[in-house]
Structure 1
Amino acid sequence: MLAFRSTAGVIALAILAMGDAKADTDFGIGLKAGTLGLGIEASWQPLPYIDIRIGANAYDYEDSGSQAGIPYDATLSLDNLYATGNFHFPVSPLRITAGVYSNGNEIRMLNDERLDLTIGGITYPGAGIGTLSSVTTFDSTSPYLGLGFDFTLAGKVGLNLDLGVLWQGEPGVTLDASGALNQDPAFQAALETERLELEDEMSDFKAWPVVSLGVVYKF
């Protein structure tokens, strides 16, 4: 489900930027879609070849699969705010983009099948395990670096393409069980072994590829 964490704040910043800049600089607002979800973005060009952009992205994607040998129902929750600076090459649509993201991306996983599972190399009965739940989070502040292309479609309407990498950092992973075995120290040790294996797999997401396409209107 689409859920912007601070849409009101983003819109307020955009309005302030427009009010300060519209007299002699370009201001734009647009919609984007890509690997960070659906988003809104405001841009302000205070100097030739330089612009500043602020925006927000969000989206929830649900899937199922196996992680560390255990089947899960998973939700990838994309949720971030960002600010970037952009350098435009003269007589070219190409730009270099660098910025910082307030990163709320997380992966939530659940197994409530109550079937026998191998956890930390040991097989346990599903009735004793109960529900397995895991949450993976990343650094709350994440740097971004990429390339972009800005094209004029017609009049004040343009098209933006972004290609880059969001460095989310090392993942933090929790893994909990709701069943009676949760009180067993040996099971807790096996659960920690499983958590570490899961954390190792989730490290694949520390560098998040960013590809997005947007439509912008310039005032």
Structure 2
Amino acid sequence: MLKSTTCLMAGVTLATILPLSANAETNWAVSGGLGTLGGNAEIKVQLNDYFDVRGGYNYFTVDVDETYSGITYEGDLDMSGLGAYIDLRPFKNSFILSAGAHFGDKLIDLEARSNENISIGDQVFTPAQAGVLDLKAELTNPTPFLGLGYDSTFQNDGPWGVKLLVGSLFTGEADVTLESRDGLFSTDPTFLAELEKERLKIEEDAEDFKFYPVVQAGLSYRF
């Protein structure tokens, strides 16, 4: 559903801006900033008084730890990738409404190593039996984005501008995998059945997190 929405959004965007851009005087700018998606760099084009388009790359990798059913997992969250957006200036000023999509793997990659007995599914296993638990959660790709903010890139007399943006990525339901390695029971059918119960619990918990908040602040330079 989210992928269909993203494709529809892209089609509507292109159908809207291509006729406008044919007769519009364009201005170009580059920008950089920081926010909840890490550091980003973008190229922007002003199509007319109402529409800008921008695309760029963000880098965001952070260490995380999560606890599920008493098991602590440690690893990293990677949400680096490319983005393509269209900004609407409904009042022909610095206020913008932004829509687009983020492209790239959004992956939570975690592992658990326990020194104590742990509960997996409906049973308890020793550390030697369970081994190392590898937990991965992959979010929707591409990911639709909606937001609003302030962008003075093409509104100032000088070349410098300021951008503030708040919004959300609609990440959808996470695709969760949970595996065991280097354990005495890593290939045991009974253990694997309990591991699948645990995976389903985690996947159910992850259904509450279908949105990722986006907050960005940065500077731009117009050519």
* Kept after mapping to 1: 8 A contact 2:165/2:215: yes
One-letter identity of the residue aligned with 2:85: T
Q: Verify: 1:211 aligned to 2:211, yes or no.
A: no
Q: CA deviation at 1:101?
A: 1.6
Runs of 5+ consecutive residues of structure 2 not aligned to the other structure? 1-20
Aligned to 1:199: 203
**More displaced 10-residue stretch of structure 1: 88-97 or 120-129:** 88-97
Distance in 1 between residues matched to 2:218 and 2:95, nearest whole Å: 15
* Mapping of residues 113-152 of structure 1, within 5 Å: 113-151=114-152
Count of residues in Structure 1 that have an aligned counterpart in Structure 2? 199
Runs of 5+ consecutive residues of structure 1 not aligned to the other structure? 1-19
Change (3 A) 1:177 1:52: same
Q: CA deviation at 1:182?
A: 1.7
Q: Could you state the TM-score of these two structures normalised by the residue count of structure 2?
A: 0.83
* Kept after mapping to 2: 8 A contact 1:103/1:138: no
Q: Verify: 1:40 aligned to 2:44, yes or no.
A: no
Change (3 A) 1:68 1:58: farther
Identity value in percent: 33
Aligned Cα root-mean-square deviation (Å): 2.1
Q: Verify: 1:180 aligned to 2:181, yes or no.
A: no
Distance in 1 between residues matched to 2:216 and 2:68, nearest whole Å: 27
Q: Verify: 1:88 aligned to 2:89, yes or no.
A: yes
Q: CA deviation at 1:168?
A: 1.2
Q: CA deviation at 1:99?
A: 0.6
Distance in 1 between residues matched to 2:220 and 2:49, nearest whole Å: 18
Aligned to 2:174: 171
Q: CA deviation at 1:68?
A: 3.4
Distance in 2 between residues matched to 1:203 and 1:79, nearest whole Å: 22
Distance in 1 between residues matched to 2:56 and 2:114, nearest whole Å: 39
* Kept after mapping to 2: 8 A contact 1:115/1:127: no
Q: Verify: 1:160 aligned to 2:153, yes or no.
A: no
Aligned to 1:204, the other structure's residue is in SS state coil
Distance in 2 between residues matched to 1:157 and 1:203, nearest whole Å: 42
Q: CA deviation at 1:25?
A: 1.8
CA deviations on 1:39-67 (whole Å, 9 max, x unpaired) are: 11110012221000101112211132412
**More displaced 10-residue stretch of structure 1: 195-204 or 35-44:** 195-204
Q: CA deviation at 1:114?
A: 4.3
One-letter identity of the residue aligned with 1:129: A
* Mapping of residues 13-24 of structure 1, within 5 Å: 24=25
Change (3 A) 1:142 1:65: closer
Q: CA deviation at 1:204?
A: 3.2
Q: Which has the higher strand share?
A: 1
Q: Could you state the TM-score of these two structures normalised by the residue count of structure 1?
A: 0.84
* Mapping of residues 55-70 of structure 1, within 5 Å: 55-70=56-71
* Kept after mapping to 2: 8 A contact 1:57/1:79: yes
